[in-house]
Structure 1
Amino acid sequence: MVPTLNPGDQLVVQYGASVRPGDVVVLRHPFRQDLLIVKRAVERRDGGWWVTGDNPLVENDSREFGAVPDELVVARAWMRLRPLPQAGQRSAGALLSWAASAVRPVRSSGLLGLPLSRRLRAR
């Protein structure tokens, strides 16, 4: 899920929440249901949700296993928490940078359904 999520990031999730296109979801892998994975819900299809990762080079998503049935979708993520910088990197600048970006919503769309970066550039 890079660039939205990085290794070590934690998610705040809501179990049983309704899923909309653009949401980041936690789901059971269709081929290994003991494995939880995080993907972005793209659209509803006949078999369930079509999900993809945010990194187009990684194909461990619906391009590999097809639509994911609703019963395999465990939760909807709504916030990402970055871990604190390591002890050697805790300068004032590093801590300020961390504080500015430690908590972020993971939804891709802002108001009017536009991506947040596009909405900000349009102003």
Structure 2
Amino acid sequence: MKSPGRALISNYLFIPAARKKKVELPLKLLTIGDFSHGKENRPLSEREKINVNKNNFNSVLSEFSPEVNLSVPNTLAGNGEEENVRLRFTDIKDFEPEQVARQIPQLRAMLAMRNLLRDSQIQSAR
């Protein structure tokens, strides 16, 4: 039985002279990399490992504050120019589409306009 919020991998074991058996394995990942933004000088092999789970994910994410810098086409202006975009993540909710959009000035302005329109529709409906 699957529990909500948990990823399971189904694997069929083939045992000679026996029936196949379905086994569900929990999803476990090992990620190795330099996530220190250049603040750490020691080799990866000498650094302390960090156990990340559902209970400490936000605090670990906040501590490392990963960010990504991109150069993307400005499709809103339609002039073929590139925009530099910096996205920072300090909480799991920062990965939600609206939160990502709030980090991009042009999209943040569009979200504000959307919210104003929605609020005015609510006001006029009353």
- Compute the TM-score of the two structures, normalised by the length of structure 1: 0.24
Q: Which has the larger radius of gyration?
A: 2
Which structure has more helix as a fraction of its residues? 2
More strand by share: 1
**TM score, norm. by length of structure 2:** 0.24
Structure with the larger RCO, 1 or 2 (CA within 8 Å, 6+ apart): 1
